[in-house]
Structure formats: structure tokens, C-alpha cells
């Protein structure tokens, strides 16, 4: 639930960007004085911002977005930046996933390929072999599973094993068949922004204004995927913290995260244990970034993020519960 008393009007062209804060009570009069095309655009964006987000239907699971939810990360890889090798054993990974689900994580996100800078590309078969046994075990036990992949054959295999969401860092652009797989599967799909859809998603990160460039890119991508047959209600957007973005870029996106509600989709945020936390805290190693990860998760839910993707599920869920208690008490007071 997102409350606001002001609306920021943003207009930009090739040369300039103009921003103006307008009180909600003055918004209609402000918009009435704009050119017709701008009035129509404002009406559409406000409708997208204020429209309730439908619950995600993940197989037999219904994930409500009325309150922030946690997506817990399981990396079934030997070389992920924060926990590489920890969850290669299916028994160990399943135990960790069950603990996260028991703690309150709504979704378990399982990936078999590291996307850290410099990570090697692996074969589709190897990637699927890493994730499919774990997905089958967890799905059989009743867990809602997301598959973190950009490869259509891995999506298909994971969905057959029991996954009921696709989380694609390339926004269904890396593999020519990905859009078709997503459309036919009729499961929720996460479209993440990355500046490159090549083997290296971190390259080519050059922006005029990163907040608005990412918004425009995601808006175009959502429209394209919707035109291909996916319902907007089934699309989630992720601005891609850490992918082809400088520290300044990441901080700008985080501080302006609420703008992405204008896309009319559920908003997913993932900054858990990422490099920016180390950059702001004496180069703390990935395993020592819990405090920063929790703070960024709360910063995101304060701006209306519907799902936060994290490594440390129990700690993040506890923090969100405390945040909700404070918020609810303030609203009642």
C-alpha cells in the first residue's frame, strides 16, 4: 500500500528535464492547463500508479501484493558472487529453501547460472541439471518456485519440473523463444532492465538520465511483451540494480524507485548483498552485507515495492514486520 500527498510532474526532451512537485489536491487544475497530449499521458500514468496490483497466480499458489512479499534466493551455482557453491547439493539447498519458506518467504527463486560480472556462460543442459531436481522436490512439497534464467530451454524444463514464475534478467530478449515460452506457460514473468542482452548483461551501461532511461526502456519492453500476448497483470518489473550501472546510477534509482509504479506492473526490487553495499561500507564482503541489504529492502518497501528479492529471508521478513507495525500505528494515530 502506497500513500502520497504530492505528485512529481516530469517532462524531458533531448536537451532538458523539468520536474515540478504538485499537491494531490491541486493536480487536476495543474493537468488541465497542459497540452492535450500531456493531459492524456498524465491520466494514463496516474491510473497505472493508483490501480491495485492483482495477486500473482502461481499454479495453486496465490501471492497477494496488498502487502510487501519476500522472494528468497537459492543459487544452485558454484560461482555466484555471494554464496557460490553453497547450494549445489540438492539436500542442502532444499533444506535452506524450506527454512526460508517457513520463515515467510512467498516465493523461492532458483537460478543455475551466475550473472555476476565476468561469470562464464554455461550450457543450457548443465544449467537445467543444476536446478530441475531442486525444483521438483520443492514444488512437490508445495513451495511457490520462480526460475531465474534467460534461456528458453531452461525455462521450459523448469516449468515442467514445477516452477510457476519466470525471472529473466534480459526481459525475455536474450533468447528468441523466451517470449513464446512465457506466453504459452501463462505464469508471472519478471522483466529486468540490463543495458545489454548479450552474454554479458553488465556492459554498455551509458545513460543520459538513468532513472528515466530505465523507465522508458521498461515501458517499451512491457508494451512489447503485452503485445505478444502476456497480460500486464502477469508482468513484474525490476530496474536491475547492479546491472551495468555505477554506484551513482544505483543510488539514483533507489532514491526514485516509486517512479516505476507508473509502468502499471508489480514492482520487484533486488539489491541484496550487492556491490553497492560494500562500496558504501568500507568494502564489506558479500557475506557481511546483511545490514545494508535489510536497509535497502525497507527503503524499497517504503516506496511501494511489492516484492523484495533477498538472500537473508528470515531477517528481512522480521524487519518488514516491524516496519509494517510502525506504519500501521502511524496511520491509526
Q: In this predicted structure, what is the pLDDT of residue 87?
A: 59
Q: In this predicted structure, what is the pLDDT of residue 1?
A: 62
User: Measured between alpha carbons, how far is residue 90 from residues 71, 136, 143, 213, 277 in Å?
Assistant: 19, 10, 15, 40, 30
Q: Are 309 and 68 in contact (CB under 8 A)?
A: no
Sequence spans of domains, the chain: 1-50, 56-331
Per the listing, cell 505528485 goes with 7
Sign, Cα dihedral of 296, 299, 303, 306: positive
The percent helix, strand, coil of the chain (3-state, each to 5) is 45, 15, 40
- Separation CA 50–CA 220 (nearest Å): 20
Marked catalytic residue, from 151, 274, 275, 289: 274
Marked catalytic residue, from 130, 137, 150, 309: 309
| Assigned CATH class of 56-331 | alpha beta
Sign, Cα dihedral of 298, 304, 308, 314: positive
Q: What is the 3-state secondary structure (H, E, C) of 228-268?
A: CCCCHHHEEEECCCCCCCCHHHHHHHHHCHHHHHHHCCEEE
Write out the three cell numbers for 309: 528479492
Q: In this predicted structure, what is the pLDDT of residue 112?
A: 94
Q: 309 catalytic, yes or no?
A: yes
Q: In this predicted structure, what is the pLDDT of residue 80?
A: 55
- Separation CA 177–CA 129 (nearest Å): 20
Q: 274 catalytic, yes or no?
A: yes
Q: In this predicted structure, what is the pLDDT of residue 312?
A: 97
Per-residue pLDDT for the chain (333 aa), expressed as one digit of tens each? Answer: 667 899 999 999 878 889 999 999 999 999 999 999 999 999 999 999 999 999 999 999 999 999 999 999 999 987 555 555 565 688 999 999 999 999 999 999 999 998 877 778 899 999 999 999 999 999 999 999 999 999 999 999 999 999 999 999 999 999 999 999 999 999 999 999 999 888 888 887 899 999 999 999 999 999 999 999 999 999 999 999 999 999 999 999 999 999 999 999 999 999 999 999 999 999 999 999 999 999 999 999 999 999 999 999 999 999 999 999 999 998 887
Amino acid at each position: 500500500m502506497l500513500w502520497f500527498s504530492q505528485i512529481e510532474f516530469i517532462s524531458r526532451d533531448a536537451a532538458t528535464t523539468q520536474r515540478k512537485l504538485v499537491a494531490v489536491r491541486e493536480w487536476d487544475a495543474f493537468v488541465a492547463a497542459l497540452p492535450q497530449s500531456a493531459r492524456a499521458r498524465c491520466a494514463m500514468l496516474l491510473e497505472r500508479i493508483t490501480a491495485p496490483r492483482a495477486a500473482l497466480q502461481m499454479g495453486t499458489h496465490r501471492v497477494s501484493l496488498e502487502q510487501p512479499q519476500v522472494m528468497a534466493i537459492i543459487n544452485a551455482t558454484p560461482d555466484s558472487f555471494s554464496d557460490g557453491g553453497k547450494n549445489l547439493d540438492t539436500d542442502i539447498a532444499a533444506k535452506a529453501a524450506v527454512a526460508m519458506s517457513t520463515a515467510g518467504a512467498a516465493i523461492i527463486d532458483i537460478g543455475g547460472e551466475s550473472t555476476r560480472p565476468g561469470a562464464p556462460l554455461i550450457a543450457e543442459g548443465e544449467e537445467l541439471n543444476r536446478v530441475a531436481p531442486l525444483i521438483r522436490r520443492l514444488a512437490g512439497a508445495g513451495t511457490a518456485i520462480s526460475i531465474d534464467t534467460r534461456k528458453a530451454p531452461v525455462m521450459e524444463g523448469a516449468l515442467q519440473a514445477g516452477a510457476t514464475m519466470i525471472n529473466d534478467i534480459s526481459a525475455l530478449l536474450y533468447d528468441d523463444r523466451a517470449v513464446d515460452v512465457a506466453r504459452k506457460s501463462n505464469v508471472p514473468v519478471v522483466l529486468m532492465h540490463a543495458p545489454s542482452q548479450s552474454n554479458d548483461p553488465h556492459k554498455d551501461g551509458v545513460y543520459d538520465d538513468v532513472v528515466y532511461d530505465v523507465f522508458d526502456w521498461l515501458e517499451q519492453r512491457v508494451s512489447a511483451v503485452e503485445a505478444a500476448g502476456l497480460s500486464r497483470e502477469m508482468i513484474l518489473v525490476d530496474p536491475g540494480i547492479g546491472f551495468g550501472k555505477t554506484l551513482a546510477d544505483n543510488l539514483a534509482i533507489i532514491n526514485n524507485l516509486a517512479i516505476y509504479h507508473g509502468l502499471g506492473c508489480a514492482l520487484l526490487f533486488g539489491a541484496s548483498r550487492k556491490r553497492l553495499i560494500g562500496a558504501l561500507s568500507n568494502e564489506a564482503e558479500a557475506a557481511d552485507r546483511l545490514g545494508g541489504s535489510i536497509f535497502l529492502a525497507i527503503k524499497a518497501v517504503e516506496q511501494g515495492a511489492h516484492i523484495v528479492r533477498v538472500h537473508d529471508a528470515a531477517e528481512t521478513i522480521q524487519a518488514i514486520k516491524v516496519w509494517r507495525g510502525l506504519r500501521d500505528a502511524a496511520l491509526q494515530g
